[in-house]
Structure 1
């Protein structure tokens, strides 16, 4: 089973891409990349996941937007439950300029057999897609008091927060509650993925590193959802109104 994370650029920005695979009882990092055009992202997905190969794709973008104005239920619930962590999401509606791009991306995935999965039978092989949101996922996975503020502010401050995120990924995800864990050799990983990343000091390069790390979190959330389903995950919203899947706080279970 493969787990794909897409930190989708909502307008014309580049997107971070990650591919994890369940191998011998552990999650292995296969690829970490970044692409500009939607066509190139789709090609990367087609190359990463063969036709009919089981996989779940987690997209950080609103791929279901039924409402003409205002916010989706999932957006409102993100503020209700995660506002205190500064982790509420942006509102999504059909009148916003990004809506066609993000919704059409979800439709492209559906055309390849990746069905929306706001509910799932844990560990059942299949082709699925879900919407995710890294900020609350990071808060819960790493038991944080607030989000890591690597998206806004001075470059040096963003860089320090991004270094924290990468260190959490390296130091905590490999020892997360068994059996769902990333392989313990992340810190020594040396492959086409070039991970760990060298966290840069300039704005554009820092954004590229941010996109890649966000996509890795997305892919991990995909695995977390597939393995445990609603037992250890929250679902804000539903298939009709739009939804966001978020891991429960680490160590918690229903």
Structure 2
């Protein structure tokens, strides 16, 4: 089974990409990348996962948007359940500039037989896609009291928060079930300039997306929350892991 994480650029900015594979009872990191054009992202996916191979693709973007205005149900539910962690998500509707891009990306995945999976039979092989959201996933997977604020603020503070995220990934992911073997592909230096820091942020978000895909496939609803459904749009979030 293969697990693809896509931190999709909602407009024309680059997207963070991650490829994990289930090998001998654990996840191995095979690729971290960043690409801008949707065509290049889809080509990368097609190279990672051959036709008919089982895989689940987790996308940090609203690929299902049924509403013309306002917010989707899953968007509202993130604020209800995760607002206290500062982890409510951006509202999505069909009239916003990014909507065509994110919806069409989901349709491109459907054309490749990746079916939406707001419900799943744990560890059943197939080709699936889900929507995910890194902020609440990070809060729950690493048992935090608030999000890591690596996206906004002063560069120096963002860098410190990104270092925290990388340390959690290095120290905690290998101890979870499923466990992750990060390997030599995982970079260790967190950049000090803005553009390079953003590129690293995108890749780490892609890794979180890919891990949530694996966590959803491995555990299903036993250890995950699903906000919304196929009709309203949905977001899959790991449940909080208690020590």
- Interval of TM-score (by shorter of Structure 1 and Structure 2): over 0.9
Tell me how many residue pairs correspond in the alignment.
243
**Where does residue 227 of structure 2 map in the other structure?**
236
**Where does residue 55 of structure 1 map in the other structure?**
55
Cα deviation 1:192-227 (Å, max 9, x = unaligned): x3x134210111100000000000000000000001
**Where does residue 152 of structure 1 map in the other structure?**
152
Question: Residue 12 of structure 2 aligns to a residue in which SS?
Answer: coil
**Equivalences for residues 134-149 of structure 1 within 5 A:** 134-149=134-149
Question: Residue 180 of structure 2 aligns to a residue in which SS?
Answer: coil
Question: Residue 197 of structure 2 aligns to a residue in which SS?
Answer: helix
1:222 maps to which of 193, 206, 213? 213
Q: Normalised by the size of structure 2, how large is the TM-score?
A: 0.99
Cα deviation 1:140-182 (Å, max 9, x = unaligned): 0000000000000000000000000000000001011x4x111
**Where does residue 203 of structure 2 map in the other structure?**
212
Q: Is the 2:8–2:15 contact (alpha carbons within 8 Å) kept by the matching residues of 1?
A: yes
RMSD: 0.9
**Where does residue 187 of structure 2 map in the other structure?**
196
Question: Residue 235 of structure 2 aligns to a residue in which SS?
Answer: strand
**Where does residue 95 of structure 2 map in the other structure?**
95
How far off is 1:49 after superposition?
0.3
**Where does residue 22 of structure 1 map in the other structure?**
22
**Equivalences for residues 73-152 of structure 1 within 5 A:** 73-152=73-152
**Where does residue 251 of structure 1 map in the other structure?**
242
How far off is 1:231 after superposition?
0.4
Q: Is the 1:119–1:230 contact (alpha carbons within 8 Å) kept by the matching residues of 2?
A: yes
Q: Is the 2:143–2:242 contact (alpha carbons within 8 Å) kept by the matching residues of 1?
A: no
Distance 2:108 2:73 in 1: 24
Distance 1:63 1:74 in 2: 12
> Runs of at least 4 residues of structure 1 off by over 2 A?
none
2:179 maps to which of 181, 203, 222? 181
Q: Is the 1:61–1:102 contact (alpha carbons within 8 Å) kept by the matching residues of 2?
A: yes
Q: Which runs of 5+ in 1 are unaligned?
A: none
Q: Which runs of 5+ in 2 are unaligned?
A: none
How far off is 1:251 after superposition?
3.3
Cα deviation 1:104-128 (Å, max 9, x = unaligned): 0000000000000000011000000
Distance 2:147 2:85 in 1: 6
Question: Residue 172 of structure 1 aligns to a residue in which SS?
Answer: helix
Distance 2:187 2:44 in 1: 21
